[in-house]
Structure 1
Amino acid sequence: MSVEGPKDPVQEPVDSFGTRSIAGADSADIQRKARAKRKKKKLKRRIRSLEKELAVYDSVAASKLYGLTPELEKEVAQALAGDKPRQLYRLVRPLHAADHADLIERYSGRDREALVTVLGRYFDPETLTYLDDKVREEIIPLLDDEVLRNAMHMLESDDAIEILGELDDADQARLLDALPDHERAMVEEGLTYDEASAGRLMQREMVTVPEHWTVGQTIDFMRTTEQLPNNFYDIFVVDPAHHPLGKLSLSHLLRSKRPIRVAEVMRKDFHKVPLVMDQEDVAMMFRQYGLVSAPVVDADERLIGMITVDDVVEVMNEEAEEDILRLGGVANDDLHGGLLSTTRSRFSWLAVNLVTAIVASGVIGAFETTIEKIVALAVLMPIVASMGGNAGTQTLTVAVRALSMRELSSTNAFKFVMKEMTVGSLNGIMFALIAAAACWAWFGDPKIAAVMASAMVINLFIAGLSGTLIPITLERFKIDPAVASTVFLTTVTDVVGFFTFLGLAALFLI
């Protein structure tokens, strides 16, 4: 049997000097490029396929994350329409409290009443904490006293105080009488604090230990004591007078050895929240320092409660929502409000806007003769005012957000104003060229185009200036910039836009 040696590899053609031929090199290069192109196309097809699969997976996976699915909503609607309480009970009973609250908020009238009463004494008290304030006020009279008493007893003190604070005096007294003496005293004290203060936001349930305790004693205490908060992240170390000396996270506690004293492992650089601090400032503190919980102290620096991050997140959402609504001239969230109350709340702001519109119309009326002679001005002047209003709103939004987040102060205010003025001027120049070209092509008059361009530059400059100075000035006078800034800005940009455009037209065109 003969053994064949290794086959010679295929050799590329070489020329008489022993170098690779150009034809062979080109052929190999073409083949490599072709293979790379095929791989690239195949990879693109695979990526598109994965993207489609991921999109389908995301929609399916997202629907499974929540108990309130479109299919369940459809079944609930059918049960309500068919007046089938047993079927409705079967559908609603397994829902998480947050999902049940969402479902209640999506209905009104008899359907909402059915969703509340169908659970009867099995109504989850935690559902009350997830409901919109107006909806909660509406359904509380539908609940049995037993359910409300259980809610006051089972909920953490801050949630119980929030719910009680929305009831009238008679209902408050009835529910407070059902509480044990120590819980009643705690809740009554919480109701005396300002609604937007840390005292109303805090919960009285917390874990405190003396500084001479060891890690082992602290762990044993938490294992044997039943009256602990439902959720807590830190343990507070106090002296005999109940002044906070340090904070110890549960993760740090469990990593420490049992014989070590808590005073040796606690953090002394913690942040204390004064009882009277505004809840917006509390939220800023949590955001600034990445806090999970913080102790609340009274005027004598004694520990009286704690605030946890879940309550702070709710405050952040409320403050952001409030600013957005006020920028739109809406006093509060009226999605679930009544017809008359919503109408009344919006009427005042519409009345203010009417006054400012009359002022702007007065400016137009002063140039009535000019408009009569050059009709094109009536067509073009809304463009100038609209561009100024939109540019000013952009600047105003940035300024109000920066003020609310404490990012804009006297240190950087001048720099911010100069920047926005420059941005307004540059945008004004660019849009002036575009608007002038359009006017020239439209009306065939270079003078009208020049007036349009000049008015555009001036109004966008003023928009950038007023969009910064108005909220800063209101903040200086302790007026919420989110409330009044929009009205002032609209008036300024409209008046300046109309006056500049029509004034220049009267000066140079007539």
Structure 2
Amino acid sequence: MAETLPVDAADSEPVDLEFRDEDGYVSREFVALVEQAVEAEDAESTCALAGDLHEADLGDLIETLHADDQAKLIRLLGDAFDFTVLTELDDSVRARILGEMPASDVAEGIGDLDSDDAVYILEDLDQADQEAILQELKQSDRLQLRRALDYPEETAGRRMQSDFVAVPPFWTIGQTIDYLRESDSLPDDFYQIYVIDPGFRLMGTVALDKLLRTGRSDPISGIMGEPVHAIQATEDQEEVAMTFERYNLISAAVVDEADRLVGVLTVDDIVDVIQAEAEEDIFALAGVGGDAEISDSVVETVRGRFVWLVVNLGTAVLASLVIGLFDATIQQMVALAVLMPIVASMGGNAGTQTMTVAVRALATRDLGSFNTMRIIMRETAVGFINGVLFAVLMGLVAGLWFSDANLGGLIAAAMVINMLAAGMAGILIPIMLDKLNIDPAVASSVFVTTVTDVVGFFAFLGLATWWFGFG
């Protein structure tokens, strides 16, 4: 994307400038010009630079700026700023910007947004700030947003758009098309028309292509299809995303407990959900808070990681206690201290590989009662075979390294035991946690690492004590 822009407020010579560099990042030159315009309080240059950017690009630009310049940039853009940009920002950046803006300005900005975008902006604010902004909205918008915010977090009700096209079944195709042409309150984008009864209960759906191919005099009820895959408003957003993925949906109706139509979900909403859920699982596997952002402060980052580091400390102490049981053995053969981290490390890596596959399969519902035993047997076999292969390799290396065939045989046996235990733990622990309704993405890594460390050290040092007659 090329921009022809003034170099600064005092320079009338234009310059062609790419917004993004060759690696896809916002170019340093572009950021420097924006920072210069913002610091100079030059609204004209700021609008010339950033006023026509796509909301995703403007969001990236805002996140590259210093915190003090972010709200200032938005103020200088004035009416050229589209509040949809706020949905592209990290949560902490968005909250900081909203905290610096008057409630009336925020209300004016979100009043023109789709309801799902407005809810996304408001939902992370505290109750007092939400209420202050809602009070500035007109009553119809306020009631609409409050209803959406009343649904639990991470549900379809929070992600849905409240604007949709609904018609009665007795309308003709002509009436419906005329309504679509003349109404000023239609959503910006829609893919289906919903047919409802007088109680607003969903009766069926009509795809736009079918509507346009049918004669004007035909009733809408004659071409409506069954309301396939209607989503409950209280359904978890991860389950909704799986429904969209499984059935290749473009949009889906959202209904309440009485099957009344309350909103619609579209695929662009679900793409955001899929990304958010994937990020949450990745962070959870690493023991990082699920809402961690690259823009978080030091204090927020420490708070998000501290708890699981404490848990890991406890498991490390447990592994150290196992090593302490064999201190006499280690003192008599120093080579054991050199080799035992290899056994534990290989087991840990093997267990993490199996665990990652298992957690993902559970999240996507690819691992269930129909194939659990087969997958357990497969991963156990994989662990055993990898154990044998690396036992041969490491046994030869250790035997030649320390000129001791017995030591090579010892580490080979320990390697087989720990790799077998790693394969079993990597699949069984996530399954058991899932059965206990504990998120396997959050807790699996700690338990799997503990098993591989304890089994690895105990097997290696225990076999050494028995084999060489130490202790």
Given the two structures, how large is their TM-score scaled by the length of structure 2?
A: 0.91
1:53 maps to: none
Aligned to 2:301: 342
Which residue type is aligned with residue 485 of structure 1? S
For residue 403 of structure 1, the aligned residue among 351, 362, 384 is 362
Contact 2:170-2:219 within 8 A present in 1 as well: yes
* 2:3 aligned partner: none
1:420 match: secondary structure: helix
The structure 2 residue matched to 1:185, chosen from 143, 168, 172, is 143
Matched to 2:412, the amino acid is A
Per the alignment, residue 141 of structure 1 pairs with: 99
Deviation track 1:379-405 (CA, whole Å, cap 9, x = no partner) reads 000000000000000000000000000
Residue 98 of structure 1 contacts residue 127 of structure 1 at CA under 8 Å; is this kept in 2?
yes
CA distance in 2, matches of 1:391, 1:414: 19
| 2:182 paired residue among 220, 224, 230 | 224
Alpha-carbon offset, residue 67 of structure 1: 10
Per-residue deviation, 1:69: 5.0
Deviation at 1:312, TM superposition (A): 1.1
Q: Secondary structure, in 3 states, of the residue corresponding to 1:447?
A: helix
Residue 234 of structure 2 is aligned to residue 301 of structure 1: no
**1:124 Cα deviation (Å)?**
1.4
**What is the distance in 2 between the residues matched to 1:392 and 1:169?**
44
Quick one: distance in 2 between partners of 1:484 and 1:144?
A: 42
Q: Partner of 2:279 in structure 1?
A: 321
Counterpart AA for 1:251: D
2:390 alignment partner in structure 1: 431
The alignment's TM-score, normalised by the length of structure 1, stands at 0.84
Residue aligning to 2:313? 354
Question: Aligned equivalents of 2:22 and 2:200: distance in 1?
Answer: 47
Contact 2:19 2:26 in 1 (8 A): no
CA distance in structure 1 between the partners assigned to 2:22 and 2:383 by the alignment? 48
Pair 1:163 & 2:121 matched = yes
- Matched to 1:287, the amino acid is E
Instruction: Give the match's secondary structure for 2:111.
Output: helix
Partner of 1:198: 156
The farther-off stretch of 121-130 and 198-207 is: 121-130
The residue aligned with 2:193 is 235
Q: How does 1:45-444 map to 2 (within 5 A)?
A: 68=26, 71-77=29-35, 79=37, 86-268=44-226, 270-332=228-290, 333-444=292-403
Cα pair 1:210 1:237 within 8 Å, conserved: yes
Provide Cα deviations, 1:91-114, integer angstroms capped at 9, x if missing partner.
111211111111111223223233
In the aligned structure 1, how far is the partner of 2:71 from the partner of 2:19?
32
Which structure 2 residue ranges, 5 or more long, are not aligned?
A: 1-17
**Could you tell me how far apart the structure 1 residues matched to 2:431 and 2:295 are?**
33
**Distance across 1 between alignment mates of 2:465 and 2:71:** 65
1:193 alignment partner AA: Y
Q: SS at 1:497's partner residue? A: helix
1:471 aligns with 430
Contact 2:35–2:65, Cα closer than 8 Å, also in 1: no
- Between the aligned partners of 1:108 and 1:491, the Cα distance in structure 2 is 42
Contact 2:284–2:441 under 8 Å retained in 1: yes
- Provide the rounded CA distance (Å) in 2 between the counterparts of 1:150 and 1:83: 23
CA distance, structure 1, for counterparts of residue 163 and residue 460 of structure 2: 64
For 1:313, what is the secondary structure of its paired residue? helix
Q: Please state how far the C-alpha of 1:424 moved relative to its aligned partner.
A: 0.7
Task: Go from structure 1 to structure 2 and tell me whether the alpha carbon gap of 1:78 and 1:173 turns closer, same or farther (over 3 Å shift).
Answer: closer
Residue of structure 2 aligned with 1:489, choices 445, 448, 462: 448
- 8 Å CA contact 1:67–1:99 kept in 2: the answer is no
- Distance (Å, rounded) in 2 between the aligned partners of 1:67 and 1:327: 28
Deviations 1:159-191 (Å, cap 9, x if unpaired)? 212222223333323322222222211111222
Quick check: 1:202–1:306 contact (8 Å CA) kept in 2?
yes
Matching of residue 503 in structure 1 with residue 428 in structure 2: no
Structure 1, 192-201 or 486-495: larger mean CA deviation: 192-201
- 3-state secondary structure, aligned to 2:365: coil
Q: Secondary structure at the match of 1:154?
A: coil
Q: Higher mean Cα deviation, 419-428 or 185-194?
A: 185-194
Question: Cα gap change, 1:290/1:61 in structure 2, threshold over 3 Å: closer, same or farther?
Answer: farther
CA distance in 1, matches of 2:36, 2:421: 57
Q: 1:104 to 1:281 in 2, by over 3 A?
A: same
The structure-2 alpha-carbon separation of the partners of 1:374 and 1:102, relative to structure 1 and needing over 3 Å to count, comes to same
Structure 1: runs of 5 or more not aligned: 1-59
Runs of 4+ in 1 over 6 A off after TM superposition: 60-67
Give the aligned residue type for 1:250: L
2:76 partner amino acid:
V
Contact 1:117 1:142 in 2 (8 A): no
Contact 2:254 2:265 in 1 (8 A): yes
Structure (1 or 2) with the larger CA radius of gyration: 1
Whichever residue aligns with residue 463 of structure 1, its letter is: A
Q: 1:232 to 1:64 in 2, by over 3 A?
A: farther
Aligned mates of 2:114, 2:144 — CA distance in 1: 11
Provide the rounded CA distance (Å) in 2 between the counterparts of 1:134 and 1:145.
18
2:9 is matched with none
CA spacing shift, 1:479–1:160, aligned 2, 3 Å:
same
Deviation at 1:363, TM superposition (A): 0.7
* CA distance in 1 between partners of 2:25 and 2:75 (Å): 20
Q: Quick check: 1:455 aligned with 2:455?
A: no
Which residue is 2:7 aligned to?
A: none
The residue type equivalent to 1:113 in the other structure is A
Code of the residue aligned with 1:309 in structure 2: it is V
Aligned residue number for residue 6 of structure 1: none
User: C-alpha deviations, 1:332-389, integer Å up to 9, x for none?
Assistant: 3231112112112211111111111111011111111111111110000000000000
Q: Determine helix, strand or coil for the equivalent of 1:478.
A: coil
Deviation at 1:407, TM superposition (A): 0.7
| Contact 2:104/2:136 (8 A) holds in 1 | no
> 1: distance between equivalents of 2:288 and 2:408?
39
Q: Deviations over 1:458-501 (max 9, x none)?
A: 10111000000000000000000010100001100000000000
Mapped to 1, the partners of 2:463 and 2:40 lie a distance apart of: 69
